[in-house]
Amino acid sequence: MSVHRGEFERIRQVLAEIDPEQPLTARELYELLDEHGEAFDSSHQIATILGRQSDGTVEVIEEQPYRYRISLV
């Protein structure tokens, strides 16, 4: 679990820098992270990491495609 926590913190750090106004899809997050030098295997990996955050820091908006809002506080 600590490995996944580190991955989540990398995502959260990039989002804190840019502070997006709207929820993002896993694909949008994947591309954004890549632009900021954070390498992940796929958008599926991003979705898996965010789906594991059940402590309220991630809101999953179940549209097609799913969108994610990450609490930055």
Q: What is the CATH number of the domain that holds 39?
A: 1.10.10
Reported pTM = 0.86
pLDDT in tens, 9-38: 999 999 999 999 999 999 999 999 999 999
CA of residue 14 relative to chain centroid, distance: 9
Domain containing 47 equals 2-70
Query: Which amino acid belongs to residue 28?
Result: E
Beginning with the edge strand found earlier in the chain, give each strand of the sheet holding 24-25 in spatial order: 24-25, 67-70, 58-61
Of the candidates 1, 72, 2, 9, the residue with the CA atom closest to the CA atom of residue 40: 9
Structure tokens at 1: 């679990």
Task: Answer yes or no: is pLDDT of 40 > 70.
Answer: yes
Per the structure, the count of domains in the chain is 1
Q: For position 30, what pLDDT does the model report? A: 98
